[in-house]
Amino acid sequence: MNFLLENWILFVIAATSGGLLVLPLLRTGGGSGSVGTGEAVRLINREKGVLIDVAEADEYAAGHAGGARNVPLGQLAGHKSLPTNKTLPILLMCPTGARSRRAAALLRQAGYEKAVVVAGGTSAWRNASLPIEKGAAEKGAAKAGEKTA
């Protein structure tokens, strides 16, 4: 008992750090609201997951995950780029992750069962050495058309 009284500050620090480790899991509902980059790639490859970047057009053009569709958060509701099959995994990302969390909540309310956030967003994608593309999708398609014409 004397040991506990003499080292009470160490026990407080240990309890606090343990609580801080558990806090992110509690905020995301046990971690089911977000996936890491490895799990995101698995969902894309094995379950036909759709990667959607909810950044604004200029942010998207500056750098986005390879193969990601750009649907800005303000235009998300009913956008034609969203899959009609609401059971497919939808992986949402943005540069910081704040908008993608809001987008995931909106899509879950709209009936998309597997709308999840890619944890860390575009920077985590880049740090995992996954493909990053630059430029807007529409501009890239127009340039490809010009070369063949």
- Over residues 33-69, the pLDDT tens digits come to 889 999 999 999 999 999 999 999 999 999 999 999 9
Least confident of 58-62, 68-72, 74-78, 137-141: 137-141
Pairing mode, strands 90-93 and 115-118: parallel
- The answer, yes or no, to whether residue 144 has pLDDT greater than 90, is no
Would you state the structure tokens that stand for residue 43, as one six-digit string? 């969902």
Please tell me the predicted confidence (pLDDT) of residue 69: 92
Amino acid in the structure at residue 99: R
CA distance 41 to 137: 20
Which residue is catalytic, options 94, 107, 115, 119? 94
Would you state the structure tokens that stand for residue 51, as one six-digit string? 């990667």
pLDDT digits (tens, 9 = 90+) for 85-135: 999 999 999 988 788 999 999 999 989 889 999 998 998 899 999 998 888
Separate counts of helices (H) and strands (E) for the chain: 7, 7
Q: Which residues contact 113 (CB under 8 A, 6 or more apart)?
A: 86, 87
Q: Which helix (DSSP H) or strand (DSSP E) does residue 34 occupy?
A: strand 34-35
CA atoms within 13 A of residue 79's CA, in its CB half-sphere: 17
Segment 12-22 shows an average pLDDT of 85
Please tell me the predicted confidence (pLDDT) of residue 31: 44
Segment 61-90 shows an average pLDDT of 90
Does residue 25 or residue 91 have the better pLDDT? 91
Q: What is the pTM of this model?
A: 0.69
94 tagged catalytic: yes
